[in-house]
Chain A
Amino acid sequence: MPADFAPSSPLASRLGGSALFTVSLLVILALESAPIRLLPLPGGAPDTGFALALAWMMRRPDQLPPWLLGALFLLADLVHGVPPGAGAALALAACEFLRPRAKALAALPFWGRWLTVTALALARYPAEALVLGVLLVPHPPLGTYLVSGLFTTAFWPSVAGFVHLLTGRRSRRQRG
């Protein structure tokens, strides 16, 4: 696992990874904004893009420069129809929390990483509700945020598997 890390990878491979991440996130946003509800879940919905960023950050933080994450999170906020900026800043903070710890996390067993994601997801959403509440922005009840955090957590393993497929193959090819 830790061998997958290539912090000093060539620029081309890093840019390729960034592009792959961008495309994946755009596809997720496109599916989320399709006029039919693909995942009819009650009370909330997973933020799959956020889960993708967290999973990617644990494997290849070098491919996710802060400006790219910020821009994509802001885009996600705009597409989701929520107050732009607040959620993006908090999601970015969660990812940047992971960045220096990525190497250590990769050494952890799977459930350890999952627990980290759970903590981050459950911290991010109530924080967003708090920020909106302090600035007197009308927002949904806290329960919606908590449920969404839980859904994000529940979806994370499959997203992480997807990320494993994408980044794993890439780094193997680059080593070989």
Chain B
Amino acid sequence: MRQAAGNGGSLLGRAALGAVFLVLVAVFLLWRIDSPRVEQLRIALLERLTPVFSAIATPVTGAADFLRNFRSYAELRRENRELREQLRQMRIWREKARAAEALYAQLLALNKVRLDPRLTHVTARVTADSGSPFSRSVLINVGRRDGIRDGWAAMDGLGLVGRIAGTAERTARVLLVTDATSRIPVTIARRAERVILAGDNSPYPLLDFVENPEAVRPGDRVVTSGDGGLFPAGLPVGTVALGTDGRLRVIPFADLGRLEFLRILRSRPPEKVASEIDLAPDTLPSAPAGETENEDAAPAAQADAATAEAPSPIPPEALEALPRPPRRPDSERPESPDAR
């Protein structure tokens, strides 16, 4: 019989406790040494658990949803009025967008840019909030079976949400931009300032490595820079704001508190960094045209895109939501465009 559990003093009880303790420490050290493999185990386990957990939580989430909907009915009237006002303003913006679109089409034609046809996306549903105050991530219901790879960008309808960090057969984990281990190369639109968006588990990630902070103003738009080849360039991220601690932060466009559907950008085919010699563009059959740079899309959360040099200029594939612009090669406009 297990008398040890009662008084904790017997030799057997101490040995059992020591063994359990050692196992836990060993798991932690294993994770520290070979994080990708352990993360793979983690995501495989979470894939099994998610259906069970969501079944258990159904009554509570259902009730919370009901409450939220009820509250929203009360707000509908006010919201309706606000929306009308916004719609009026959006009409103005629409005209501007149309003009910009025409200009964009012309510039595309001038550059003979071809958008990568493989730049499509997969839409996924958020199945679980695999987060805690110490890590910000969500689980989605697509995985390796759907061709999802580590490192791909995840967006909601509004902006960048994070990137894939860990895939199982039918589940993937999205590390949010707010996570303390998330580092994403971004640029301040119009100011050509290349900085790193560093999450710190607060709702508003930090802007790190800002070379001249005077040039960055609250309200500036932040987009991905595409440095390091991890993400396509030009994905909308958020707007700059000055934190209460006096540091530059970013208010994400994405509604990170309430993620339901995510769009996973198939940004590039999975490539392996073999050796330096193999990096010639013609020896890589799977590389998209014009892409010579490889970045090991490491599944580890520590994949530090900041250390990668040689930024690769990528066409703004992120705008895949736009309809294919009409090509008008004859109409050329000499004046400088609204440069990014």
Contact = CB atoms under 8 A, between A and B. Distances in A.
B46 A79 contact: yes
A100 B173 CA distance: 40
Interface residues of B, number: 63
Interface of A: 7-8, 11, 14, 26-27, 29-38, 40, 43-45, 47, 61-62, 64-67, 69-70, 73-74, 78-86, 88-89, 92-93, 96, 99-100, 135, 137-141, 144-145, 147-148
Q: Is the interface of A mostly helix, strand, loop or mixed?
A: helix
Contact of A80 (B9, B127, B130, B200): B130
24 contacts: A26-B56, A31-B57, A33-B53, A38-B64, A43-B133, A62-B6, A65-B5, A66-B13, A66-B17, A67-B16, A69-B20, A74-B27, A81-B132, A84-B28, A85-B29, A100-B8, A138-B180, A138-B181, A140-B133, A140-B200, A141-B201, A144-B201, A145-B134, A148-B133
B131 interface: yes
B2 A37 contact: no
A45 B133 contact: yes
B134 A140 contact: yes
A83 B28 CA distance: 7
Contact of B61 (A35, A96, A139): A35
B133 A8 contact: no
Given A81-B135, A99-B8, 4 more contacts: A70-B23, A88-B24, A92-B20, A139-B134
Nearest to B302: A138
B52 A30 contact: yes
B31 interface: yes
A83 to B, nearest CB: 6
Interface in B167-182: 173, 180-181
B16 A66 contact: yes
B114 interface: no
Given A35-B126, A35-B138, A100 B7 contact: yes
Contacts of B132: 32, 45, 47, 80-82
Contacts of B302: 138
A66 B20 contact: yes
- Shortest 7 CB-CB contacts between residues of A and residues of B: A85-B28, A81-B135, A80-B132, A85-B27, A30-B56, A30-B53, A70-B20
B54 interface: yes
**Residue with the highest number of chain B CB atoms closer than 10 Å, among A43, A88, A141:** A88
A7 B7 contact: yes
Nearest to A27: B56
